[in-house]
Amino acid sequence: MKVGLVGFARSGKTTIFNALTGMSAEVGGFEKKREAAIAVVKVPDPRIDALAEIVHPERNKYAEVTFLDFPPPEERKTGLETEALVQMRECEALALVVRAFADATATTAVDPVRDMRGFQDELILADLAVIEKRIERLKKEKGKERERDMLDRCHKILEEEKPLRSVSFLPDEEGMLAGFAFLSRKPMLIVYNVAESALREALPQEVIDYTEREKLLMVSICGKVEMEIAQLDEEERVLFSADLGLTESAKDRFILQAYALLNLMSFFTAGPMEARAWTITRGMSAVKAAGKIHSDIERGFIRAEVISYDDYIRYRGESGCRDAGRARLEGKDYIMQDGDVVHFRFKV
């Protein structure tokens, strides 16, 4: 999963990036770079460790999230940078960092709702530009009425200052839309970057109202504190976090919300080689899930041997589950459940 950290300059993107990844990219810098910094983190999942205790695999493989930290737009220039736009379109989700802490060097007062709206507008403008260019093109081409109609409809929605995320499309439109990778259509998580002094305070009502109205999920993080925590060693981290009343790290909370936002879940494979988590969308069928591992397995799919996670742990692995009658054979259309431990049978 690829998540882009976006937002206005000095909202704390790089600080949050460091908090989430344990990196130490330069904070407060006005990077000359135009491309995003990239880091990959493992998705913490204690279920993998529990499976490994039973099968003793050679290695554990966790799911991964790639974070991109976007540089601020060039000063005096409006709009998003072309280079950044290309990378943003490749992200599966955006995390909009909004500043809710006072900053002596900031040129504007703290106003998260203004910033959320403002950035949303940037995304809408970027999408409008793409649509207008494409519509011009299509005027010179014959046919493609379906695409024309769809783009006209998108144009209208955006002109009303609404993101494409807020409306639903027909399945064949979804197919046409995919190639455009519209930014305002991407799932977006709000990262509310609070001041250390406000860690225990309730969120302002207007922020709650706005995110509810726009149906946006939000995590509240104090970037500065979380970055310091992420850079401590394990033992100090536990002590320091407990002191502040933080039970889960920013990374854990963020990833949980990102999974919810993208409607994701994990299934597992466990054997002598590895215990491994695979991330899929909820509601996916067994045959499609098999394709996540390898297209050959999807093509030659015969059946899936499925054990629910709880049973796997209770009966200490596969043979125990078989003896207890807890190992199931499922067909192509079986809907995968979170935590399923699976063996796919397939012909080559």
Ligand X SMILES: Nc1nc2c(ncn2[C@@H]2O[C@H](COP(=O)(O)OP(=O)(O)O)[C@@H](O)[C@H]2O)c(=O)[nH]1
**Calpha distance 179→156 (Å, rounded):** 19
* Residue 156 near residue 175, CB atoms below 8 Å: no
> Token pair for residue 19?
């908090």
Query: What part of residues 223-242 is at the interface with ligand X (CB under 6 A)?
Result: 223-224
Compute the distance between CA of residue 6 and CA of residue 15 in angstroms, rounded to an integer. Answer: 12
Binding of ligand X at residue 266 (CB under 6 A)? no
Nearer to ligand X, 193 or 285 (CB): 193
- Between CA 300 and CA 345 the distance in angstroms is 8
Is position 181 an interface residue for ligand X (rule: CB under 6 A)?
A: no
Per DSSP, 335 falls in state: B
Q: Please identify which residue in 7, 8, 12, 14 interacts with Mg ion, judged by CB under 5 A.
A: 14
Contact 100, 193 (CB under 8 A): yes
195 binds ligand X (CB under 6 A): yes
Q: CB–CB of 36/71 below 8 Å? A: yes
What character string, x for contact with ligand X (CB under 6 A) and - otherwise, covers 42-81?
------------------------------x---------
Minimum distance of ligand X from residue 123's CB (angstroms): 16
**Taking CB under 5 A as the rule, does residue 193 contact Mg ion?**
no
Residues 25 to 44 in contact with ligand X, rule: CB under 6 A? 27-28
**Interface stretch with ligand X, choices 2-10, 41-49, 278-286, 299-307 (CB under 6 A):** 2-10
Q: How far is the CB of 26 from ligand X (least distance, A)?
A: 8
Interatomic CA distance for residues 69 and 21, integer angstroms:
11
> Which one of the spans 79-87, 170-178, 217-225, 279-287 is the region binding ligand X (CB under 6 A)?
217-225
Q: How far is the CB of 255 from ligand X (least distance, A)?
A: 19
Q: Could you tell me if 231 and 20 are in contact, meaning their C-beta atoms sit under 8 angstroms apart?
A: no
Rank residues 225 and 304 by Cβ distance to Mg ion and give the closer one: 225
Give yes or no for a contact between 312 and 327, defined as CB atoms under 8 angstroms apart: no
The CA distance from 23 to 54, in Å, is 33
Q: Which amino acid, residue 230? A: A
The smaller minimum CB distance to ligand X, of residues 109 and 348, is found at 109
Residues making contact with Mg ion (CB under 5 A) = 13-14
Residues making contact with ligand X (CB under 6 A) = 7, 9-15, 27-28, 72, 101, 103, 193, 195-196, 222-224
